[in-house]
Amino acid sequence: MKRLFPFVLLALLLAPAARASERHPSLAELEGEVMCPVCETTLDQSSSPAAQQIKRVITNRIAAGDTKTQIKDRLVAEYGDAILAAPPHKGFGLLAWWLPVVGILIAAVVVGIGARRWARAREPTPVGPPLDPALEQRLDDELRRFEG
Amino acid sequence: MAKPARLAAQGLAVALVVGLLALLVWRVANDNGKGVAQALEDGAHPTAPAFDLPRLDGRGRIDLASLRGKKPIVLDFWASWCVPCIHESKRLEVARKEYGDRVAFIGVDTKDFSSDARQWQKKHGITYPSVHDGSGSVLTKWGGLPIPRIFFVARSGKVVGELIVEEDLPRYLQQIAAS
């Protein structure tokens, strides 16, 4: 439980900021989350007339008090899902969200199994039967004499 | 790893690869390249790709296929953010008055905000009906950006040409009106 504490704390600290961003979005943050329909980049990287048009619409909707979700829904209704930089959390879009997670999990399992096998392979193989005590004593004596 | 587990893992890996390959084949098979515009450039006269989209003025929908065999069509892809579209749409408006009911003029407002598009039509006096293709999926089938793009469809439903130079407009209009 103690291990989870920093994550819970972080989530609690970030929650009000996320709520504020949802209620009072800024043009700058939405520019990074919305695509320019004619240039295949996000709005913040485009100054094309089509991008300028969407920026103007977003500015107007922010001034009208729309939430981030309402603004995004309005854009999706006009341009389709492809107007959002991130895929939607539904239908085929779910695949884009979960496939990397599943891939990482599979990779972690494969690496874990591989590491376990490698560690096993490195364990010292047991040597033959112990030496005869007399022979071992003689070997020690010989070595001592050789070093001395 | 136990033999059944290893077999299952291998089967899963093969299934994954086959799935990804199938996805790739499907994508290539459904890729229209540059669509109608490319076909015309290659000397072909393809059948106009059908669409059924809502009208900008809110008066129902326009189903292009329903006009096949009934009327020749001029199809104008435009958007309110497209400056050159103003000139071309105004020329089409003049032609529409000249040809009356003999040719159907249809605008396709693409990758655009529909309220801006309606204001744009009003501002520039464009009266022929337009449909809203917000995602640009219909435009992609016809050749994609840039716009304006104007196509001429004979009564039979075959696309006879695309407006490239100014003189193409009277030439193709006469051709499709006689079809």
Question: What are the φ and ψ backbone dihedral angles of A89, each rounded to 5 degrees?
Answer: -85, 45
Nearest neighbour of A50 by CB, restricted to B1, B111, B137: B111
The pLDDT tens digits for B7-39 are 887 888 888 889 888 888 887 776 655 699 999
Nearest neighbour of A53 by CB, restricted to B83, B116, B137: B116
- Give me B106's structure tokens: 């249809």
CB B1 within 8 A of CB B9: yes
pLDDT for B103: 96
pLDDT for A40: 87
- Give me A74's structure tokens: 């309005």
Q: The domain at B35-177 falls in which architecture?
A: 3-Layer(aba) Sandwich (3.40)
Question: What are the φ and ψ backbone dihedral angles of B169, each rounded to 5 degrees?
Answer: -60, -55
Q: Where are the domains of chain A?
A: 2-83, 89-123
The pLDDT tens digits for B136-172 are 999 999 999 999 999 999 999 999 999 999 999 999 9
Region A31-49 average pLDDT: 95
CB A41 within 8 A of CB A50: no
pLDDT for A1: 56
Top-tier CATH class for A2-83: mainly alpha
CB A78 within 8 A of CB A36: no
CB A52 within 8 A of CB A46: no
The pLDDT tens digits for A110-129 are 999 999 888 888 777 767 77
Cross-chain residue pair B113–A53, CB shorter than 8 Å: yes
Average pLDDT value for chain B: 92
pLDDT for A12: 61
Nearest neighbour of B81 by CB, restricted to A50, A77, A79: A50
Cβ neighbors of B29 (< 8 A, separation 6 or more) are none
The pLDDT tens digits for B71-109 are 999 999 999 999 999 999 999 999 999 999 999 999 999
Is this structure's pTM higher than 0.95? Answer: no
Cross-chain residue pair A53–B83, CB shorter than 8 Å: no
Mutate to test the interface with B, among A34, A36, A38 (most CBs of B within 10 A): A38
Chain A CB contacts of B135 under 8 Å are 79-80, 82
Distance from the A37 Cα atom to the nearest Cα atom in chain B, whole angstroms: 6
Beta bridge partners of B61: B54
Cβ neighbors of B169 (< 8 A, separation 6 or more) are B91, B92, B95, B150, B163
> Is 80 exceeded by the pLDDT of residue B63?
yes
Cross-chain residue pair B113–A52, CB shorter than 8 Å: no
Nearest neighbour of A78 by CB, restricted to B82, B83, B134: B134
Q: What is the DSSP string of B136-171?
A: -HHHHHHT-SSS-EEEEE-TTSBEEEE--STTHHHH
pLDDT for A96: 81
> Is 90 exceeded by the pLDDT of residue A67?
yes
Residue A2 CA: distances (Å) to CA of A11, A67, B61, B66, B172? 15, 36, 61, 68, 77
Q: Is B114 on the interface with A (CB under 8 A)?
A: yes
Chain A CB contacts of B10 under 8 Å are none
Burial B121-154 (b: 16+ CB within 10 A, else e): beeeebebbbbbbbbbebbbbbbbbebbbbbbbb
Q: Is B80 on the interface with A (CB under 8 A)?
A: yes
Average pLDDT value for chain A: 86
pLDDT for A62: 96
